[in-house]
């Protein structure tokens, strides 16, 4: 049951994440995502067999049920349709993690509202499930801000790097995927304190409920 809900929360969250990219691109003048029919919460338009199912299930099993992450098909955009391609790409990149943090805050507020009634079994169950939603979205938001391609953090970084740093950008674009895999195996613990801090900040004293 927990696995099913974690997977459902993850799928919903990554879909909102990707749609947010498309919505921001549309606001900045690019209709690529809209034309491709990607500005919808319909899972069929977004889910990726490997990233939305195989990876989360594998991580859930390997971590003993304590960790799950995944992704949906990236929402396309054309930077040449943007008035300011460099800045626009950064804003589009930031929209995804921002949407996850918004979801985390919304469900965190719901948890705080429900805590006084936690003695009721149904309410206690909702608090537990909402905690999962909060954690999944904080995890997605923080992880995607890591400045390594193909994560959103790389687009944000590239949007603020001066032209003199072009060789650094080129290096990251060429080797970013391999660096990301290395990070996931050996550097992920670096962002765990950030995830835990934001989790406690949002849900308050009910962490682990």
What positions carry a catalytic annotation? Answer: 18
Cβ 95 vs Cβ 18: under 8 Å: no
Separation CA 19–CA 43 (nearest Å)? 11
Distances from the Cα of 168 to the Cα of 154, 163, 164, 165, angstroms = 11, 10, 9, 5
What distance in Å separates the CA atoms of residue 165 and residue 121, rounded to the nearest whole number? 56
Task: Give the integer Cα–Cα distance in Å for 146 and 97.
Answer: 11
Q: Give the dihedral sign, CA 77/83/86/87.
A: negative
């Amino acid at each position: 049951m927990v696995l099913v809900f974690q997977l459902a929360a993850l799928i919903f969250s990554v879909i909102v994440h990707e749609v947010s990219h498309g919505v921001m691109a549309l606001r900045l003048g690019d209709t690529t995502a809209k034309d491709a029919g990607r500005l919808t919460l319909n899972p069929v338009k977004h889910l990726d067999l490997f990233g939305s199912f195989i990876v989360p299930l594998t991580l859930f099993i390997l971590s003993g049920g304590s960790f799950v992450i995944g992704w949906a098909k990236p929402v396309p955009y054309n930077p040449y349709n943007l008035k300011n391609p460099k800045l626009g790409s950064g804003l589009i990149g930031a929209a995804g993690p921002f949407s996850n943090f918004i979801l985390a805050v919304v469900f965190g507020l719901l948890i705080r509202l429900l805590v006084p009634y936690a003695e009721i079994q149904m309410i206690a169950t909702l608090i537990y499930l909402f905690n999962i939603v909060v954690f999944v979205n904080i995890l997605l938001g923080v992880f995607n801000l890591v400045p390594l391609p193909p994560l959103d953090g790389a687009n944000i970084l590239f949007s603020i790097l001066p032209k003199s740093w072009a060789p650094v950008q080129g290096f990251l674009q060429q080797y970013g995927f391999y660096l990301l895999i290395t990070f996931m195996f050996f550097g992920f613990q670096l962002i765990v304190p950030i995830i835990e801090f934001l989790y406690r900040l949002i849900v308050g004293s009910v962490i682990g409920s």
